[in-house]
């Protein structure tokens, strides 16, 4: 399904769709989600009434993802746990890699480099949750970022 989406949209729209599906995955796991469509971080996910949570910069790519200083500064400045979420379409078992943004620097990373960074535990099985969200929303996702974004309420 991910390859189907990736083949139907350009890189930017595909990234927006994946980011929204990631946000829906957090929301369906009981998190409050703030999606920032123009700045950084891309997402903030937290439990209602709690001050902590996660500031997430989501990146998608075929073989690599690039992080800018702005991306990293954005997730580090929120007071939440700074996370880089990377999704490699070429991965034999595509999934989101959630890594500690404090262990990253502005650079381009291949999957094996992301794989070796410290992981962030978000308290639920994101791979499983994302798979369910993708399967149940694939038709809407195929309509593009706008209709999918409306599911999230934004």
pLDDT in tens, 106-147: 999 999 999 999 999 999 999 999 999 999 988 888 888 888
pTM for the whole structure: 0.91
Element (H, E) at 44: strand 43-46
State pLDDT tens for residues 22-61.
Answer: 999 999 999 999 988 777 899 999 998 887 899 999 999 9
Query: Where are the chain's structural domains?
Result: 2-152
Domain 2-152: assigned CATH number: 3.40.1350.10
- What burial letters (b/e) apply to 116-131, b meaning 16+ CB within 10 Å? ebeebebeeebeebbb
């Amino acid at each position: 399904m991910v390859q189907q989406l990736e083949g139907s949209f350009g890189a930017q729209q595909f990234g927006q769709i994946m980011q929204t599906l990631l946000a829906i995955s957090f929301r369906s796991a009981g998190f409050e989600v703030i999606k920032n469509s123009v700045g950084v971080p891309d997402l903030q996910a937290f439990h209602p009434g709690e001050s902590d949570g996660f500031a997430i910069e989501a990146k998608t790519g075929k073989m690599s993802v690039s992080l800018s200083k702005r991306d990293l500064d954005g997730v580090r400045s929120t007071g939440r746990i700074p996370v880089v979420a990377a999704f490699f379409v070429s991965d034999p078992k595509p999934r989101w890699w959630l890594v500690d943004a404090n262990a990253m620097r502005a650079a381009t990373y291949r999957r094996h480099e992301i794989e070796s960074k410290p992981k962030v535990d978000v308290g639920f099985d994101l791979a499983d949750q994302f798979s369910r969200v993708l399967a149940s929303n694939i038709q809407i996702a195929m309509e593009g970022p706008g209709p999918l974004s409306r599911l999230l309420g934004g």
